[in-house]
Structure 1
Amino acid sequence: VGTWPYMHRDCSIETLKAGKPVFCQARMARNVEEAREMLAAQKESGQVAMLCPPPIGLKWDRVIKRLLAEKTIGKVLTIRVSMMGGDYLDHDAPIHWRQIREYSGNNVLTLGIMAEVIHRWFGKHKSAMAYAQTHVTARMDPAIGEEREVDIPDAVWVNGEMENGALIQYSFSGLAHLAPKNCVEIYGCHGTIVYDFVEEKILTAQLGESSLKEMAPSDDQSKVWEVELDFIRAVRGEARPEPSFEDGVDYMEWVDAVTKSYRMGAKVTLPLGG
């Protein structure tokens, strides 16, 4: 299913009803309600269903997991995610489908894809307190020949808690010209780990050290993005589908919690009802 998210539920459910396995693009759906319907259909059908995995952070995924498992920096206390660029600064640019909730759903920028990365390394979120900003509130839609409301924010800031006890802060923006490199910063009681997504580097420092140093993991510790092969293996029963529809429901729940928070101006706890 390679459409925009507004078609994912219907296409996936009909395919599962026809007795066929499903590979669906991310985001899984427009919201968690649609995602739950997809998961229910998958369970009823007994077919294999897999979502497109995020390439972000994939190369050194095994290394990060090992460093965390070995408690190289001790207990993780704080996580900071920065994903910022200037794509939405141009007043005259036409609207992008990702700025239209009808098509894209509740996801904002890289909120959903980074939730997948964070879930993979640290587990689930416990709460969200979010703030959103829209710089240009209406843009020309060439498909209809007139302006359309921009109903997905241009930027969102999120403060949250993780189930493992860590605090997390996300900065997502399409309004940041020459922003610093996109990265995840992991602060533990014994040191720091930084994953630079732009240059695919891992930097670390222990307490007492005055600067971060680049790790040099061997190539056999790296992973490559081979989604088609992963799906074939899952269909053959040789591997677990990853991300699964269960994983997708988890990250869509986080996306909806953030949306609910910035709309209400209040902290939202997870899991959401429903």
Structure 2
Amino acid sequence: MSDNIRVGLIGAGANTKLQHIPGFKKIDGVEIVSVTNRSIASSQAVADEYEIPNVIDNWIDVVESPDNDAICIGTWPYMHHPMVLMALECNKHVLTEARMAMNSVEANEMLTASKINQDLVTQIVPAPHTFKIDKTVKRLLSENAIGEILSVDLNISLNGFVETESPVHWRQIRDFSGNNVMALGIWYETLMRWIGEASSVIALSRVHVKSRKSEDGKNNVLTIPDHLEILSEMYSGPLAHIKMSNVTGLASSDSAWLFGTEGTLFIDLENLNVFLGKRGDSKLEPVSIPKNEVGVWRVEEEFINAIRGDEIITHTSFEDGVRYMEFIDAVQLSAQSGKKIKLPF
């Protein structure tokens, strides 16, 4: 393929405008040639703002167009599966927004299609929250800074006290979001970077807010949990406890604790600070993050480099997407059945 790469955008929401469009535009030899959004008016607005030459009225025409080499999908999860499959059929490289799919069945079909089309690059937008510290955390664990990892606690509080007045968000509507729950997928993806995959899941869930109105006044009955408690056995050895909630008012700031035989790592996820204490210490001490370990957002650069043959996708591969979608499905199956669910499926 020529070093000149033409990209078509399907969906131009917040992350596409904040990250993908600027990211592609700063890469030499890359041109965003077309955009389609939820309406012609919104598509035209994006095209005018970012100087994109072609406004297309439906996504199929973007995928089928011979005028682009790669597709960037920025839609809600319910469209990722059909769009990815069609893009690969049309010989297009694909960058798709996270959450990978509605469920692990769709995710596995997407992975299979990517393997059939091995000459094409496929990538999922990664969980970016811990880029700054990921390399340092992984180095400390590889150096056995805390010894054998015994237990992991991940605590994520997304909102605060229960509130019932805000309109429904698409992430709370199963027809759009599938089995995805709150930010579970991206935080499990982060855990996988640090300690690998889960071998089993036991979960309890609650839906405390039973319904919300959409902006047009329609009432939406909610079935996606707003509170999760998960226990997982990890292949690397530890038990991991994940608590994620939209209803825990005045909870302490988001954090991860990794307890080992010889030490403890505490990660302040709000400020991205890392603390380490070893056997015999009286308290945790801050860990400096070396400049060469500070990770940054380079999703579009990685995608284009992979197309040009200069890099292999690591953030995030379809294989890892399947892993987090299977974990999400296992959480739902366990919560529904009251049983331990083994992974992988």
Normalised by the length of structure 2, the TM-score is 0.77
| Equivalent in 280, 295, 298 of residue 223 of structure 1 | 295
Structure 2 Cα separation of the partners of residues 270 and 216 of structure 1:
36
Q: Following TM superposition, by how much is the alpha carbon of 1:88 offset from its aligned partner in structure 2, in angstroms?
A: 7.0
Residues 256, 267 of structure 2: 8 Å contact kept:
yes
Q: Following TM superposition, by how much is the alpha carbon of 1:86 offset from its aligned partner in structure 2, in angstroms?
A: 2.5
1:56 aligns with 2:149: no
1:137 aligns with 2:217: no
Deviation per CA, 1:216-273, whole angstroms, max 9, x where unpaired?
122222110121111111111211112111111111000100011111122111122x
| Equivalent in 2, 7, 13 of residue 79 of structure 2 | 7
Residue 91 of structure 1 corresponds to: 164
Closer, same or farther in 2 for the Cα pair 1:87/1:7, shift >3 Å? farther
1:118 aligns with 2:191: yes
Residue 18 of structure 2 corresponds to: none
Deviation per CA, 1:7-43, whole angstroms, max 9, x where unpaired?
0001111111110100011010010000011111111
Closer, same or farther in 2 for the Cα pair 1:16/1:87, shift >3 Å? farther
Residue 17 of structure 1 corresponds to: 89
Structure with higher Rg: it is 2
| Equivalent in 192, 200, 208 of residue 264 of structure 2 | 192
Higher relative contact order (CA 8 A, sep 6+): 1
Structure 2 Cα separation of the partners of residues 270 and 199 of structure 1:
32
Normalised by the length of structure 1, the TM-score is 0.96
After TM superposition, the structure 1 = structure 2 runs for residues 190-269 of structure 1, keeping only pairs within 5 Å, are 190-242=262-314, 243-269=316-342
After TM superposition, the structure 1 = structure 2 runs for residues 143-162 of structure 1, keeping only pairs within 5 Å, are 143=216, 145-162=217-234
Q: Which amino acid is the alignment partner of residue 328 of structure 2?
A: V
Q: Which amino acid is the alignment partner of residue 135 of structure 1?
A: H
Q: For structure 2, list consecutive stretches of 5 or more residues without a partner in the other structure.
A: 1-72
* SS, match of residue 168 in structure 2: coil
Deviation per CA, 1:178-203, whole angstroms, max 9, x where unpaired?
21111211100001011211111001
Closer, same or farther in 2 for the Cα pair 1:151/1:107, shift >3 Å? same
Q: For structure 1, list consecutive stretches of 5 or more residues without a partner in the other structure.
A: none
Structure 1 Cα separation of the partners of residues 85 and 160 of structure 2:
34
Residue 82 of structure 1 corresponds to: 155
* SS, match of residue 161 in structure 1: strand
Q: Which amino acid is the alignment partner of residue 84 of structure 1?
A: S
* SS, match of residue 59 in structure 1: helix
Structure 2 Cα separation of the partners of residues 54 and 146 of structure 1:
32
Structure 1 Cα separation of the partners of residues 305 and 152 of structure 2:
33
| Equivalent in 101, 104, 119 of residue 32 of structure 1 | 104
| Equivalent in 120, 145, 149 of residue 72 of structure 1 | 145
* Percent pairwise identity: 38
